[in-house]
Amino acid sequence: MICRDQLVAACDHQLRAAQFKDFTVNGLQVSGSEQVKRVMTGVTACQALLDEAVAWQADMVLVHHGYFWKNEPVAITGMKQKRIKTLLDNNISLLAYHLPLDAHAEMGNNAELARRLGWKVEGCLDGELGEGLLWSGRLAQPLSVKALGEQIAHTLQRQPLIIEAPQVGGYRAHRVVYRRRARHDYCCL
């Protein structure tokens, strides 16, 4: 068992949450039990995940996509009200990290994409939202754009959208610049 606030502080520190200009609140979004025995993780704090957390008797849910996004209506009604009520009624904390989980060098989405595709990370480009969101790397071997698309599709089990300039038809990629996100991956050769 660990104190909720200690766990939140450790996650905030490890993920460098304060260093990002995000579109949402990173860190503790809904406060529940002060003591944490069980943490459920997921991508999005949807109702199905929260129902599983209740059934599993979780004290905390840690997700990539939480609540309270910029330009989102602030009223807590409908679907948002039901989700927050589930958390409050069951004394479950909601901890969410968006850009910090995209960028983290070991646990982040970019790092995992590079590992799964066998890319050698060469560096990160800093942007206005925070460092580590746009990575560059070298492919294990040069690939045509088509072959790279097939590798991504096979590894991630989803079809990438490839926009190829006509003049690079026979181009073989050696390097990539990429950003891994939950619904969209960006990859430039």
Query: Which residues contact residue 145 at a Cβ distance below 8 angstroms, ignoring those fewer than 6 apart?
Result: 162, 164, 168, 171, 173, 189
8 Å CB contact between 162 and 175: no
- φ, ψ of residue 164 to 5 degrees: the values are -115, 130
Q: Is 70 helix (H, G, I), strand (E, B) or coil?
A: coil
Token pair, residue 175, equals: 């390097």
Chain center to CA of 46:
15
Q: Is 64 annotated as a binding residue?
A: yes
The annotation places the binding site at: 64-65, 102
The annotation places the binding site for a divalent metal cation at: 64-65, 102
